[in-house]
Amino acid sequence: MKYALSSLALAASLGSAQMAAAQTEIEFWHAFTGRLGDLVAEQVETFNGSQSDYVVKATHKGNYSETLNAGIAAFRAGEQPEILMVFEVGTATMMAAKGAIKPVYTVMEEAGAEFDQSKYIGSVKGYYTAPDGNMLSLPFNSSTPVLWINRDMLSEAGIDPDTDLSTWEKVGAVLDQLKEAGVQCPMTTAWQSWIHLENLSAYHDVPFATQDNGFAGTDTELAFNGEAQVAHISAMGEWAKDGKFIYAGRRNEGGANFRAGECALFTESSAGYAGIKSEAQFDFEVRPLPYWEAVTAEPQNTIIGGASLWVMEGHEAEDYQGVAAFLNFLSSPEIQAKWHQDTGYLPITAEAGDLTREQGFYDENPGTDIAVIQMTAKEPTANSKGLRLGSFDQIRTIIDEELEAVWSGDKDAQAALDSAVERGNALLRRFEQASQ
pLDDT higher for 16 or 196? 196
Residue 157 has pLDDT above 70, yes or no: yes
In a domain, 15, yes or no: no
Q: How many domains does the chain have?
A: 2
In a domain, 6, yes or no: no
In a domain, 383, yes or no: no
Look at residues 364, 379, 408 and tell me which one is the last residue of a structural domain.
Answer: 364
- 134/161 same-domain check: no
- Which pLDDT score is estimated for 34? 86
- 160/216 same-domain check: yes
- 173/276 same-domain check: yes
- 229/308 same-domain check: no
- Which pLDDT score is estimated for 98? 82
- Which pLDDT score is estimated for 267? 98
- Which pLDDT score is estimated for 21? 53
Question: Domain of 408?
Answer: 150-302+390-434
- 294/397 same-domain check: yes
- 66/42 same-domain check: yes
Lowest-confidence range among 8-22, 171-185, 261-275, 393-407? 8-22
pLDDT in tens, 231-251: 999 999 999 999 999 999 999
pLDDT in tens, 162-184: 999 999 999 999 999 999 999 99
- 104/129 same-domain check: yes
- 230/187 same-domain check: yes
pLDDT in tens, 80-120: 999 999 999 899 999 988 899 999 999 999 999 999 999 99
The CA angle 56-63-50, to the nearest 5 degrees, is: 20
Look at residues 364, 380, 401 and tell me which one is the last residue of a structural domain.
Answer: 364
- Which pLDDT score is estimated for 35? 85
In a domain, 376, yes or no: no
Residue 16 has pLDDT above 70, yes or no: no
Residue 398 has pLDDT above 80, yes or no: yes
Residue 274 has pLDDT above 90, yes or no: no
- 71/190 same-domain check: no
In a domain, 13, yes or no: no
Q: How confident is the model at residue 126 (pLDDT cuts 50, 70, 90)?
A: confident
Residue 7 has pLDDT above 70, yes or no: no
Residue 64 has pLDDT above 50, yes or no: yes
In a domain, 184, yes or no: yes
In a domain, 380, yes or no: no
pLDDT in tens, 17-51: 444 457 999 999 999 998 889 999 999 999 999 99
Q: pLDDT over 70 for what percent of the chain? A: 95
CATH code of 68's domain: 3.40.190.10
- 275/401 same-domain check: yes
- Which pLDDT score is estimated for 4? 39
- 139/155 same-domain check: no
pLDDT in tens, 208-232: 999 999 999 999 999 999 999 999 9
In a domain, 336, yes or no: yes
Q: How confident is the model at residue 131 (pLDDT cuts 50, 70, 90)?
A: confident
- 56/135 same-domain check: yes
